[in-house]
Amino acid sequence: MMTMKKYFKYKIVLLFSLLISLIGCKESHEVVISIKNPISLDREAETIELYASDFKTLIDLYGHEQLAIVHKKSGQLMVNQWIDLNGDGTQDQWLFQTAITSNGEEEFIVRPLKEGETQPQPSKMTYSRFVPERTDDYAWENDRIAFRTFGPDAQKRVENNQPGGTLTSGIDAWLKRVEYPIINKWYKNNLEKKGAYHIDSGEGYDPYHVGSSRGVGGIGFWAEDSLYTSKNFTSYTTITEGPIRTVFKLKYQPWDVNGAKVSEEKLISLDLGSNLCHFQSTFKSEAKLPPVAIGISLHDKSGKTYISNQDGVFSYWEKIDEDMLGLGIVLPKEQLNDAFERKVKHKDASHLLVLATPSEATVNYYAGYGWERSQQFSSDAEWNEYLAQFAKKVETPLVVTLMM
C-alpha cells in the first residue's frame, strides 16, 4: 500500500514528467522557416515552395488544413495554399508568399492554429479552367495578366470550314487591367453579346491577335530554316487554382518535325503578382530533337525587339490599338541556344524566336506581358528591367531552411 508521503512524491514526479513532456511537445509542434535573399535586389510577391513530407508529423497530428504559417516578427498569419500535384488525393506541396529586402532574411513559424484562429482569407486569386461554352478554350489568370489557348473542337471547326474555330497551339493574351478575376465574366458577356470581350468596358479586353502564330511564348521546333508547330491541345488536366498559384497540364498529339514525330506535354503555372507564366514542355520522340523555338509574334513587324543572351531576356514592345504592349521571354541561360528575329511576308509567321536546347527532353521557360493601360509599365525600358530582374531571381533563388 502506498503511503501518503510516497503518493505526493509520485505525484510530483508525474507532474514534472508531464511538464517536460509538454515542453518537448511544444517544441516538436513548431517548425521555424528561415528565408534568406542572397542577392542585392528587393523581391516582392516571392512564392515559397514547401513540401508536405517535411511536415508529416504535424499533418498526422492536426491535418494539413489546421497548420498555420506565421510571420515570426509581426505574428501575422500568412495566406497559404496546399497542392495535390499528382491527383492521388494527398497534398504534396505547400505555398505561401512573402516580400524580402535586398540581402535580407525573414523567419516564419509553422504551428497548429490556436483556439479561435482561422486561416486568413485572400484578397486576390489565381484562376484557370476549361471553357466549353466558347468551343473549348483553356483560360488562366492572376491579378495582373490573363491568357487562353485552344482545344480540339476549335481545331475541328477550322478543318471542317465551320464558324468559331481557331487552329493554333499559340498562346493568346487577354489584356486585363483590374486585380480581380475576369475570365468567367468576360466569357459570360461574350455569350450574351458576341464580341463583348473585344471591347474595353473598364476591365481590359482582347485585342491581341494570335492566329497561327506562337502568340506569347508558344513553341515549335526550328529545323532547316523552318518552324514546325503542333496543332491545338487535345486534352487538359486542371491541377490547382487558388490564392497563390494555378497549375494545369495540356497534351498535344504527335506532329511532324522535319520527318520525325514529336509529342508534347505542357505544364503551365502562374503565380499571384507575376507578369510571367512558367512553362515546362516535355517531349517524346524516337529521333534526336532539333532546338525548341519559343516564339513571340511580331504582328506588323513595327515594334521594338530586345535580345539579351547574356541575361536570358528577350522582349518585343509594340503598339496594340492606342497603347503599348510589352511581350517577354525569360529562358535560363543553360538552355539557351540562340535568339533572332524572323521577319517574313506570310501572315502570322514573323516572330522573335528564342532557341532552347532541351535538358533530358524538357525545356523550362517563362513568358508573359506588361500592358501600358494597366499602369504597370510605361516604357520598354521599364519592361526590360522587370524581365532582367525576374531572370536574376530565377538564377539565384531564395535560400529556404527548415529548423525543426
Q: What is the pLDDT of residues 239-288, one digit of tens each?
A: 999 999 999 999 999 999 999 999 999 999 999 999 999 999 999 999 99
- In this prediction, residue 28 carries a pLDDT of 58
Q: Where are the domains of the chain?
A: 9-114, 127-395
Q: What is the pLDDT of residues 297-341, one digit of tens each?
A: 999 999 999 999 999 999 999 999 999 999 999 999 999 999 999
- In this prediction, residue 22 carries a pLDDT of 37
* Domain at 9-114, CATH from 3.90.1530.10, 3.40.50.720, 2.60.40.1180, 3.40.50.920: 2.60.40.1180
Instruction: Name the CATH architecture for the domain at 127-395.
Output: Distorted Sandwich (2.70)
Secondary structure of the chain as H, E, C letters? CCCHHHHHHHHHHHHHHHHHHHHHHHHHCCEEEEEECCCCCCEEEEEEEEEHHHHHHHHHHHCHHHEEEEECCCCCECCEEEECCCCCCCCCEEEEEEEECCCCEEEEEEEECCCCCCCCCCCCCCEEEEECCCCCEEEEECCCCEEEEECHHHHHHHHCCCCCCCCCCCEEEEEECCCCCCHHHHHHHHHHCCCHHHCCCCCEECCCCCCCCCEEEEEEEEECCEEECCCCCCEEEEEECCCCEEEEEEEEEEEEECCEEEEEEEEEEEECCCCEEEEEEEEECCCCCCCEEEEEECCCCCCEEEEECCCCEEEEEEEECCEEEEEEEECCHHHEEEEEEECCCCCCCCEEEEEECCECCEEEEEEEEEEHHHCCCCCHHHHHHHHHHHHHHHHCCCEEEEEC
Q: Report the pLDDT averaged over residues 376-398.
A: 98
> 0.85 cut: is pTM over it?
yes
Indicate the pLDDT class of residue 359, thresholds 50, 70 and 90: confident
> Is residue 6 scored above 70 in pLDDT?
no
